[in-house]
């Protein structure tokens, strides 16, 4: 069984249920661990506000004390903000974050106008028309690999969502650095053949998460579990199946 859900949201970004409601629901479901991973600071519509961050940290600390029977990580679903692999966090954030999820989102404030026109807009139209050039594919892949090299990313969220990359190369980098690839509870964009290829040719591990934006979705792993069962992903390659993950940012 799945023992932890490491991608849930609250009203601090795009979620509808509070941090405490998510925790209570996770306990009811028998989960051993939970992570709050609200959208990063530079999402243009659903971002955590920097002015609220200390309040969020205090809220988390209070709830950790109130619910000692479950481990609750304070994380962030950070955004890729440039083709060079920049994320929307600073060094000071790394001191407080207990879990770093990273992914691509469409409506994000980029580092500069050059990236808007050479990175974000091309990916927007590539998804719209279902066609990615080799040059853009290489640029996207390099962005992820650079981010994995520069930051202690624990989880790559919803791979291939909104952006097309060479998943084998990204999986190799994830395996090298000890980062998990997510099987997302709302969407699994990677085709079955691609997932099987990454498992066969690398030592990468996947992690199952709900990506819950409402209380009723916490711990809902039905979609990723259907993928696991359909293509027979070995359970030992699922980081939170009958065991608890060891996250990269927590390793010495």
Cβ–Cβ under 8 Å, residues 238 and 244: no
Give dist(CA 9, CA 205) in Å, integer.
23
Is the pLDDT confidence value at 130 over 80?
A: yes
Count the domains in the chain: 1
Domain range enclosing 204: 4-250
Tokens representing 22 are 């998510």
Query: What CATH number is associated with residue 28?
Result: 3.20.20.140
Q: What count of other Cβ atoms lies within 10 Å of the Cβ of residue 231?
A: 13
The residue behind tokens 């506000």 is: 49
Give dist(CA 115, CA 84) in Å, integer.
9
Is the pLDDT confidence value at 251 over 90?
A: no
Q: What is the pLDDT of residues 37-89, one digit of tens each?
A: 999 999 999 999 999 999 999 999 999 999 999 999 999 999 999 999 999 99
Residue 43, class by beta-carbon neighbours within 10 Å (0-12 exposed, 13-18 middle, 19+ buried)? buried
Give dist(CA 223, CA 190) in Å, integer.
13
What backbone phi and psi angles, to 5 degrees, belong to 34?
A: -145, 145
Q: What is the pLDDT of residue 252?
A: 57
Is the pLDDT confidence value at 170 over 70?
A: yes
Q: pTM here?
A: 0.96
Residues ≥6 apart with Cβ < 8 Å to 19: 10, 12, 36, 56, 59, 60, 63
């Amino acid at each position: 069984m799945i023992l932890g859900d490491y991608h849930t949201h609250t009203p601090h970004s795009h979620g509808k249920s509070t941090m405490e409601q998510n925790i209570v629901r996770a306990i009811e479901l028998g989960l051993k661990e939970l992570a709050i991973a609200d959208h990063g600071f530079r999402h243009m519509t659903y971002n955590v506000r920097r002015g609220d961050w200390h309040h969020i940290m205090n809220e988390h600390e209070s709830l950790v004390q109130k619910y000692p029977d479950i481990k609750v990580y304070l994380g962030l679903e950070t955004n890729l903000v440039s083709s060079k692999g920049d994320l929307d966090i600073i060094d000071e954030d790394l001191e407080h974050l207990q879990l770093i999820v990273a992914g691509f989102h469409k409506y994000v404030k980029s580092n500069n106008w050059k990236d808007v026109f050479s990175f974000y807009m091309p990916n927007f139209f590539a998804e719209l028309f279902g066609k990615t050039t080799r040059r853009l594919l290489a640029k996207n892949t390099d962005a992820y690999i650079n981010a994995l090299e520069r930051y202690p990313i624990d989880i790559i969220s919803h791979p291939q969502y909104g952006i097309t990359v060479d998943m084998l190369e990204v999986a190799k980098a994830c395996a090298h650095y000890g980062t998990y690839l997510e099987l997302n509870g709302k969407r699994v964009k990677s085709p079955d053949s691609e997932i099987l290829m990454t498992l066969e040719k690398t030592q990468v591990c996947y992690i199952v998460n709900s990506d819950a934006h409402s209380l009723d979705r916490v711990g809902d792993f039905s979609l990723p579990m259907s993928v696991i069962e359909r293509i027979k992903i070995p359970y030992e390659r699922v980081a939170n199946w009958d065991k608890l993950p060891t996250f990269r940012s927590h390793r010495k």
